[in-house]
Chains A and B, each alone.
Chain A
Amino acid sequence: MRTVPISVTVNGEVRQAAVEPRLLLVHFIREVLGLTGTHIGCDTTSCGACTIHLNGKPVKSCTVFAVQADGAEIRTVEGLEQDGRLHPVQEGFWQEHGLQCGFCTPGMMMTAVALLEANPNPDEAEIRRAISGNLCRCTGYVNIVKAIRYAAEKMRQPEVAPAVAGGGED
């Protein structure tokens, strides 16, 4: 089996591996790097569960070969939280009940982050257009839209005291 060496910066860390040319980026992320927050929901580029940022753009990582990402910057859901602080989009999804089973959530959030980085004040139609490539089978999208609006508002506010990431159990 022929392999090709690649080097990718993932969530700020340089990762190197020798991969089969046909290895999908999503499998590289999940299985080679062990970052299982990026999910696979289809085999037809339809669901968006695998959405990550490739050089700042949201892409469906099931439809990119790992070798195509050689030299690229990748951001996955695991890279959203910074220094123990949730990204406003993560906060929004938690606050507004933007998820049920959570399977679509990482991809949905990556799309939302990319949207808000490009357009800090989207209206509902713009949000819905942005997430139209991400399917959520559980929620019906209403709370997802709310979650993204919540994040947009939060991100537009001037930085105040840092919110500490919650979620400690017991």
Chain B
Amino acid sequence: MATTQSTQIGGLGYAVKRKEDPRFIRGKGTYVDDVKLPGMLYLDIVRSPLAHARITQIDASKALAMPGVVAVITGKDLEAAGLAWMPTLMGDRQMVLPTDRVVYYAQEVAAVVAEDRYTAADAVLAIDVEYEPLEPVVDPFRALQPDAPLVRPDREQKTNHIWHWEAGDKEATDRVFQEAEVVVAQDLYIPRIHVSSIETCGCVASFDRVSGKLTIWMTSQAPHAHRTVFSLVSGIPETKIRVISPDIGGGFGGKVPVYPGYVLATVASLQTGRPVKWIEDRSENLQADSFARDYHIHAEVAATRDGKMRALRVRTVADHGAFDAAANPSKFPAGLFSIGTGSYDLEAAHFSVDGVYTNKAPGGVAYRCSFRVTEAVHMIERMVDVLADELDMDPAEIRFKNFIQPEQFPYKSPTGWEYDSGNYPAALQKALDAIGYQELRREQAEKRARGELMGIGISTFTEIVGAGPSHTFDILGIKMFDSAEIRVHPTGSALVRIGVQTQGQGHETTFAQIVAEELGLPVENIVVEHGDTDTAPYGLGTYGSRSTPTAGAATAVAARKIREKARLLPRPTCWRSTRTIWSGATTPSASRARPSAPRR
């Protein structure tokens, strides 16, 4: 596919220095905490020192008497405005501030608004909160016992069990297990982790009382989706809300959830008519922002004695913390966990997952490769190794033996996923050749003979990414499409606006390259904008490796439409580029459109 032209214009597959870097290497990025507005106030948060407690009293009088303190917001204040709770993306609800009890350590208890950061921090210490400690439950298995403390008495169901979900055919799977020659089983705990982007979360909310418009600069991986949530929570129409996600210091899924701090800053701005900034400390970020994983998995594989896997049975307890606020845009409560048959051809599989509340910060951030796929991949790959161990087989050999074969595609997995294409044996063979697998095994044998330890690990990986197709993905009924808007100016430069939002991925470069490739315009003449809901087209944001597959595809499709249209028009005389969509020397091939050859 390489053409000289692609090199010259910096199209796909060519090294281009990043277009966003000139501002970053000069310290001229604009991250949320760099936003400073006239009259801006600062919000800081009182957090719970207990994982589970009844709040008996909040005394803010000392704080309110401090010079520079403008307001204190408690759950009772929010309750009066109908804002004490907010909906989560998983159909649950979450406290913005508690009215009677805290349900995890470092949970938001009250907010202070002051003229500056230091005063706000002082005022936080001056607020007296009385707690009556309750027994916390932090182990999900304990939480499922009938006498366990109830995490969420606000719900109708008086249990810590949130949901039960299954995929695959239970009967068929159990049948294979009954007659199997070999069964291996393993408990796997994928621990709770924090994504810990280097920039913490925060926002500047600014409500203009004259126009009635609310502008929020926020650390958002999904500015449009967040605008929709803000509109649903506040009742302000989306036309009167502008979310701006400026430069973002890393996201890793942690900037998908809506945190109470965003809502509190917004309430404070609505109340005071002044801009309000809230920026988390790192300690707050690590304690109270949503976590990822926390899956307790019990997996079993049924196989033949010669190492052919026949069925997979997986039971999982998913610890979601105190609110089911997972950042999961799939239609399934356990995300894409049922992709866990991986790269292997099985007769049957069955997955069941039970979501559980505990007294911990919310879980379910999609850290690294989308929604429960990491958990699924770890589980199946571990199980293949466990089986290999049991049968004393080479881990590569057992994988070759069980791969879906190239001629089986399109392949329907026992949990219902359709795999369109692939050649797994060739891919693994290539990887083994590249690392000199046989040689490594020899080296290992020698070292072991000398009493030295050397390990070799193998893993294969079939991932489902690009949250897009609406048969599988959805947020709030919006589906998971994405968008691009392209304007080509008369002199041959282009402005591209996209619905996804970079947090370091380099969209301003990658998407410019896509347009360069499609339109034959040099990459330096293409400017990519994103993150401002007033100017960017609606999109569902960046997470789960979805930006290029969805918005990238939208960008290419839009560019192709422009190219076709341009062919019908005379070239403007002011056009400066020599390699243009107007040159029309060749028509794109049927299989893959490519910019036409340079011509003067």
Contacts and interface: CB of A to CB of B under 8 A. Distances in A.
Interface in A1-54: 20, 22-23, 27, 30-31, 34-44, 46-47, 49
A37 B28 contact: yes
Interface in A144-170: 165-167, 169-170
Contact of A43 (B27, B29, B283, B504): B283
Contacts of A41: 198-200, 249, 282
Contact of A22 (B25, B29, B30, B118): B118
B437 interface: no
A81 B26 contact: yes
Q: Is the interface of A mostly helix, strand, loop or mixed?
A: loop
Nearest to A147: B25
Interface in A106-153: 106, 109, 135-138
A63 interface: no
Contact of A94 (B25, B198, B283): B25
B118 A44 contact: no
A39 B31 contact: yes
A99 B21 CA distance: 8
Contact of B283 (A44, A97, A101): A44
Interface residues of A, number: 49
B23 to A, nearest CB: 8
Contact of A35 (B18, B27, B118, B504): B27
Given A44-B283, A95-B17, A137-B198, A166 B22 contact: yes
A158 to B, nearest CB: 24
**Which of A47, A81, A137 has the most chain B CB atoms closer than 10 A to its own CB?**
A137
A149 to B, nearest CB: 16
A165 B21 CA distance: 12
Contacts of B19: 169
Contacts of A40: 33
A100 B506 contact: yes
B202 to A, nearest CB: 10
The bracket for how many chain B residues form the interface is 35 or more
Contacts of B118: 20, 22-23
Contact of A44 (B24, B282, B503, B525): B282
A138 B247 CA distance: 14
A96 B6 CA distance: 21
Given A102-B504, A103-B198, A170-B527, A76 B27 contact: yes
B231 interface: no
Interface in A31-90: 31, 34-44, 46-47, 49, 76-78, 80-81, 86, 90
Contact of B199 (A97, A103, A109): A103
Given A41-B282, A43-B282, A137-B196, A103 B31 contact: yes
Contacts of B504: 99-102, 138
Contacts of A169: 19, 22, 524, 527
B470 interface: no
A87 to B, nearest CB: 9
Nearest to B29: A102
Nearest to A136: B198
B18 A101 contact: no
Nearest to B508: A169
A137 B25 contact: no
Interface string B192-225: 0000111110000000000000000000000000
A138 B197 CA distance: 8
A93 B21 contact: yes
15 contacts: A40-B33, A41-B249, A94-B17, A95-B17, A101-B198, A101-B249, A101-B503, A102-B504, A103-B199, A105-B25, A106-B27, A135-B198, A166-B17, A166-B22, A170-B527
Interface of B: 17-31, 33-34, 36, 117-118, 196-200, 247-250, 252, 281-283, 493, 503-506, 524-525, 527
